[in-house]
Structure 1
Amino acid sequence: MVTKHALPGSERKVEQGATVIGQCDPAEQIEVIVILRRQQQAQFDALMKRIEAGDPSVKPLSREALAKDYGAAPEDIAKVHTFAAAHGLTVAREDPAARSVVLSGTIAQFQSAFEVKLERYQHHSAGQFRGRTGMISVPDDLHGVVEAVLGLDNRPQARPHFRIRPPFVAARAQQVSFTPPQLASLYQFPQGDGSGQCVGIIELGGGYNTSDLKTYFSNLGVSEPKVTSVGVDQGGNHPSGDPNGPDGEVTLDIEIVGAIVPGAAIAVYFTQNSDAGFLDAVSRAVHDTTNKPSVISISWGAPESVWTSQSMQAFNSLLQSAAALGVTICAASGDSGSSDGSGGGDQVDFPASSPYVLACGGTHLSASGSSITHEVVWNDGEQGGASGGGVSTAFPVPAWQQGLSATSTGGASKPLSGRGVPDVAGDASPMTGYSVLIDGTETVVGGTSAVAPLWAALITRINAAKGQPAGFVNAKLYKASGVCRDITQGNNGSFAAAKGWDACTGLGSPNGGKVAAAL
């Protein structure tokens, strides 16, 4: 008799607004990702403590060393092979470094293997998807070995954090827009084109047109960067022709990075929008031994409450691997202010709320000539969007945020009870947004989606100048004083800007030269 164990953190509830519309076809083929425990976890935790403390003597691990010392153990992978064979599943791929084994089989086989019931759901905004409720079960010999099983359900997990400026806004202050090189100059980025570096960009849908990129960079007078598209789990570069859809996100990310570091290679990892797809694309970028990105930009996310704890923990563990490899990850903090669009109370956005990413919030920027005249928290009101930020309920206060407080809009200041979001900020209001070219149309875009690639480009310039990766930058940025332009005006709903760190703009917007000196 095989004892089955519920997989901790795997519980799924029916999403609000979703209804079951029927059974899944038992013969349908799907792929599921099994994430395994890390070898030498205690030793790895000790290494992470030193990285989190900003210990300058810690050198980044090579991708080979990480795989060998802290990947999945061969005997753990063998156990998954045995389990798969017993249930008629096949092993489609395995990656010991990423601690992942991808299994392929029919819905009927997976339902029996993990004791789940998969059904078809309809949701007013997410459309149709495959879902489940309750827990996932694993047998005795995988108990404690498997950390997450992702992909049984494929509900859309995240949303892009960009906002296209509305074509007509009555009685608003004058609208301005900036090209990415103008912003790099206003924020005093150090010189350089990022040569010798690679920037990874994560996309959960959409695509880019090479003709857009050619025209855009040529109009800016910038040499065209080398852009490679990497398909993950049936994902690929598939432009839809709708600039308001994911194409807007993809093109925006590439154009901002490419305009500021045209000498860097850009690898765009395309996948499906599900928790399994999202995790797998970031994993592919972090462990990519071909393109070897030193910086990864993520402009997608969702409120912490919509993630299962198994997917959030597996994702966070992957982000720790990135920190150990010296890969900097910049993530957008969200565009819906302190509620993160959750519809219920204050929430922060994940993956921005992971302590292993540089969470990027938003500002509204005014400039005259080559200098910034005024910069406040981005908050364009209910319909217009605002900088995501607040306090995590999933992650504790990291070492480098000890002693900080979040100021509420009412003026009260409370010590952080969890990881504070964001860490830094940059121009994000569509009213003072970025001039880009999407699906043949010149448009102005804002959102914290623009801030993640902006910071990614800054760190790429710093890496290229230094000839080595800055790696995990949070501890260093919080330690150094005055590397960011402190934003002290505005709010994002529940939280207000304040002197020093705040839950709207973090430490502030970049002074590129000072950031470079601190890193």
Structure 2
Amino acid sequence: MAEKLVPLVGSVPTNRHQADGSVDPHERIEVTIKLRRKVQTGLPTLDEFVAGQRAAGMTRAELAERYGAAQEDIGKVHDWAVQSGLSVSRVEPGSRQIHVVGSADAMSRAFGVELGRYLHARTRTHFRCPKSDIHVPQSLASIITGVFGLNDMPVVVHHGVRVGRRAAASSNPKTQFPGSFYPNEVAKLYNFPQTDGAGQRVAILEFGGGFDQSVLAAYFTNNIGLQTPPVVNGISVLGQPIKVDQDVTGEVYLDIEIVGAMAPKATIDVYFAPWTGEGYLNAIEQAVHNDDYAAVSISYGIDEDLRGSAGDPGWPMLNKNLDEAFQDAVAVGIPVFVSSGDQGSSSLRGVLSDQQTEITVYSNTAHAGYPATSPYVTAVGGTMLYANNGAVSEEVVWNELGAVQQGQFYGETEKLQNGKYYLGGAGGGGVSDRYKTMPSYQSGAGIALHSANGAGASGRCVPDVAGNSGSSTGYLVSQPPGSNPSVAPVGGTSAAAPMWAALMACVRESLAQAFNGSVPVFFFNDFVYANGTTAAFRDIVGGRDFTYTSDGEQVAGAFIPIGNNRSTEASGYSAQKGYDLCTGWGSPNGAELLKQLETWLKQQPATSKQRPAG
């Protein structure tokens, strides 16, 4: 008699996208099964972590051995999968993964589901998804913590590649796009340490696209002036093709070229994963368990309120397992920098009915983006940076939104709709509606800000830090093939996250000397909030007005004393002296940050482990 199947907690599927047929029963599907840890003792739970508990520093090997999957659990799940007609393609005890492969028909029987085909509203792509809860055998219900891959819905969006306003044609990008910067110029304005990331590695997560080594080499040689381009490695996750395309490659070039120009001696590992929950989880876990990275940069996320039956399939299950992956990163001392989003306080993006123009969707309530809201990561907000004679002349809150518009667009979860929206973008920020307890590193620093959605509503606040993100003050980077010009300015908080990752590569190179080749394991946010009022950060308060012409041309207006990121009826958030929900503690003063960090680390209680500084 077959064993009873029970529903897997948090696996409820979507019901808000258009049904579009059935799944071919012979379709080949690969699924990632996540298992429980051997033990939890010594690795704080989410509640314990938010309350201030930290794991003793450990190496990646110790993390895998102590907190990976038990061989007994692996054996039980392996045997069940084989008995169910599935093939086990890979077992990863350290990251607690078992990968199984089989036909759609076999998967349906094994997990007790019927698979349907749907049309995604905003991206207009087709995806596969269970029509009911995923089920597992009762004897394995306490062992299996997640099943990913039965649905392949695009659950994340990149935080917008925004090309700046075009000036008169010129062979010199600096002339053609006044106000824009090469990444190394921003590094100088942010006073990066006099190091270049030698001996360090940085991980970048991408979801689609690819890169052309000859394009990178030409950019670093001709535009940045490097004699030797940085080493860039493409790493495929779940067999994702690494292929240059028009849609996503611009984001790839942005991330790589910012890190490479700011930390030219660092090795850059670029993880390319499918644009799905399974891909997102695997990319993070593969990076965390692969190397002792100076930092991980993620420019992709999603409005944290789009979960479960309200939006994305199995979001609570994915949310839990992603947080555990970030928990692993903290345990081994790898900082994860995540862009806070480009839609201001609404956090909602869309595309006009022309399928070309990306917009910020006007929202009745404020939203924050995940995984920026995860207490385990460092959320990066946006500023607009202005310079004169090689020095910062102004730096203000990034908000290039014009007046509210009315028209048809595709939103995150609905069909074509008529509603309000903005052209342009603004830095994401706000108070989480999902992580309702403010982390101790924020409450201990005296942060007492509340959500715009309700009087007294508190929780995890974002962002933590910020950096240059405006399209009108964008980074001059390579564009996808066939673009004219081939180098143009790009903004968004997707640019600020790799900037911080590059800074950490330079910082860790310097720390290696102070700590004899090894650096204590620490959580970066603990340092940030303990030192937010010091010279390590430039406090950002002001803003600037923007309007748009009838043909969509951006027009910069006057600087204003107080900036904001409002894109909602609930008003959004305004900047203030000190920490705020627009730019966190502000942008970096790199050399001073290094000085403060070294001093702070030497004052911390000794951890059980240090990890190599390179």
Task: Verify the 8 A CA contact 1:179 1:435 in the aligned structure 2.
Answer: yes
* Structure 2 equivalent of residue 365 of structure 1: 385
CA drift at 1:151: 0.8
Contact 1:93–1:101, Cα closer than 8 Å, also in 2: yes
Give deviations 1:398-424, integer Å, cap 9, x for gaps.
110114133778xx9976621111110
Q: How does 1:436-455 map to 2 (within 5 A)?
A: 436-439=477-480, 441-455=486-500
User: Is 2:345 the counterpart of 1:338?
Assistant: yes
Summarize the Cα distance change of 1:191–1:414 in structure 2 as closer, same or farther, 3 Å threshold. farther
Cα deviation, 1:109-140, whole Å, max 9, x if unaligned, reads: 11111111111111243211112233211111
Whether 1:300 and 2:305 are equivalent positions in the alignment is no
The partner residue of 2:211 within 194, 208, 212 is 208
Q: For the Cα contact (< 8 Å) 2:294–2:504, is it kept in 1?
A: no
Return the offset for 1:47.
11
| Preserved CA contact (<8 Å) 2:449 2:458 | no
Q: 1:13 Cα shift?
A: 2.2
Alpha-carbon distance, 1:306 to partner: 2.7
Partners of 1:405 and 1:415 within 8 A in 2: no
Task: Please give the alpha-carbon distance, in whole angstroms, between the structure 2 residues aligned to 1:52 and 1:254.
Answer: 36
Match of 2:530 in 1: 479
Q: Secondary structure, in 3 states, of the residue corresponding to 1:305?
A: coil
SS across alignment from 1:385: coil
- Tell me the alpha carbon deviations over residues 42-88 of structure 1, each in whole angstroms, 9 at most, x when there is no partner: 32117995898497xx7631111111101111111111112202211
Which residue number in structure 2 is paired with residue 14 of structure 1?
A: 15
**Aligned to 1:491, which of 558, 564, 576?**
564
2:433 to 393, 407, 412: 393
Q: 1:465 to 1:48 in 2, by over 3 A?
A: farther
Please give the secondary structure, in 2, of the residue aligned with 1:44: coil
Bigger shift: residues 127-136 or 154-163: 127-136
Q: 2:335 aligns with which of 295, 320, 328?
A: 328
CA apart distance, 1:212: 1.5
Residue of structure 2 in register with 1:39 after alignment: 38
Aligned to 1:101: 98
Greater than 3 Å deviation, 4+ residue runs: 46-55, 166-170, 412-416, 468-471
Shift of 1:29: 0.8
Distance in 2 (CA, whole Å) between partners of 1:293 and 1:263 is 14
Tell me how many residue pairs correspond in the alignment. Answer: 505
- Within 5 Å, which residues of 2 pair with 1:231-310? 231-240=236-245, 242=246, 245-289=247-291, 292-307=292-307, 308-310=315-317
Following superposition, the deviation at residue 258 of structure 1 comes to 0.3
SS of the residue 1:104 aligns to: strand
Give a deviation string over 1:498-519, Cα, whole Å, max 9, x none: 1221111111111112221232
Ranges in structure 1 where 5+ consecutive residues have no aligned partner: none
The equivalent of 1:190 in structure 2 is: 193
* Candidates 217, 221, 225, aligned match of 1:221: 225
Does the 8 Å CA contact 2:164/2:473 hold for their aligned counterparts?
no
Distance in 1 between residues matched to 2:13 and 2:46, nearest whole Å: 33
Contact 2:503 2:590 in 1 (8 A): yes
> Is 1:429 the equivalent of 2:482?
no
**Structure 1 residues 413 and 339: alpha-carbon distance in aligned structure 2, compared to 1, 3 A threshold:** closer
Instruction: Say which of 138, 141, 159 aligns to 1:140.
Output: 138
TM-score (norm 1): 0.92
SS at match of 1:33: strand
How far, CA to CA, are the matches of 1:42 and 1:448 in structure 2? 36
Could you tell me how far apart the structure 1 residues matched to 2:373 and 2:94 are?
24
Is residue 407–residue 495 contact of structure 1 (8 Å, CA) maintained in 2?
no
Per-residue CA distance 1:19-57 (angstroms, 9 max, x = gap): 1111100111110111111122132117995898497xx
Q: Contact 1:178 / 1:435 at 8 angstroms: preserved in 2?
A: yes
SS in 1 for 2:33: strand
Residue identity in the other structure for 1:320: Q
1:108 aligned partner, one-letter code: D
TM-score by length of 2: 0.78
The structure with the largest alpha-carbon Rg is 2
In structure 1, what is the Cα distance between the partners aligned to 2:47 and 2:328?
9
1:147 positional shift:
1.1
Give the deviation of 1:175 after TM superposition.
4.7
Structure 1 residues 38 and 54: CA distance shift in structure 2, 3 A: closer
Task: Flag the 1:267–1:51 CA change in 2: closer, same or farther, 3 A.
Answer: farther
Distance 1:433 1:416 in 2: 35
Q: Aligned residues: percent identity? A: 39
Amino acid across the alignment from 1:268: V
RMSD: 2.3
AA aligned opposite 1:115: G
| Alignment partners' CA distance in 2, 1:414 and 1:399 | 21
Q: What is the aligned partner in structure 1 of residue 447 from structure 2?
A: 404
SS in 1 for 2:305: helix
Supply the AA of the counterpart residue of 1:123.
Answer: H
| Alpha-carbon distance change, 116 to 461 in structure 1, aligned in 2, over 3 angstroms | same
Shift of 1:303: 0.8
Q: Distance in 2 between matches of 1:399 and 1:414?
A: 21
Q: Is the 8 A contact 1:407 1:498 kept in 2?
A: no
Tell me, yes or no, if the aligned pair for 2:200 and 2:505 is still in contact at 8 Å: yes
Structure 2 alignment gaps of length 5 or more? 169-176, 308-314, 350-360, 402-421, 513-517, 543-562, 567-571, 598-614
Q: Which moved more, 1:452-461 or 1:463-472?
A: 463-472
For the 8 Å contact 1:161–1:335, the answer to whether it is kept is yes
Q: Distance in 2 between matches of 1:424 and 1:416?
A: 22
Aligned to 2:503: 458
